[in-house]
Amino acid sequence: MMVLILVIIILSLDQLTKLLATKNLILNQSIPIIKGVFHISLIHNRGAAFGILKNQASLFVVTSIFAIILIYRSLKKDTKHKLYNVSLGLILAGAIGNLIDRLFCGYVIDFLDFLIWPVFNVADSAITVGAILLAWTILFKKLDT
């Protein structure tokens, strides 16, 4: 139940922030929040992380659906390790958030811009944090499954 709530919260936050970005910015517009450090910059990412493999939407849709199914099946095993479940929940929410963009827009909406890093979104952040937690859990914790 905790993971479901986490997924709903992250997915809602992701979609709400993307909606706000698209309603308040034009494509490629950048608004400094902390000048020279952090901007809100609207881009349409037609690739994967860092814009690699541009215009391969069908590949990303199939890969995302496959990942969502695997994560869901893993969560159904009802492992007692909470951090493992949270990490999968974060990855799941991010994967669904970016899949929604790809299915309905044909691209992923990115807007968080730290200027020294490619522009990203809440879903990307959830996937990254989830992957780090998952790796840490697998490497340093005994999983009781």
Confirm whether 78 is a catalytic residue: no
Which residues, 6+ apart, have CB-to-CB distance to 22 below 8 Å? 42, 109
The pLDDT tens digits for 62-88 are 888 999 999 988 888 867 788 999 999
Confirm whether 110 is a catalytic residue: yes
Structure tokens at 138: 């697998």
**Active-site option among 14, 110, 113, 144:** 110
The pLDDT tens digits for 81-136 are 889 999 999 999 999 999 999 999 999 999 999 999 999 999 999 999 999 999 99
**Active-site option among 14, 101, 113, 124:** 124
Q: With a threshold of 0.85, does the pTM exceed it? A: yes
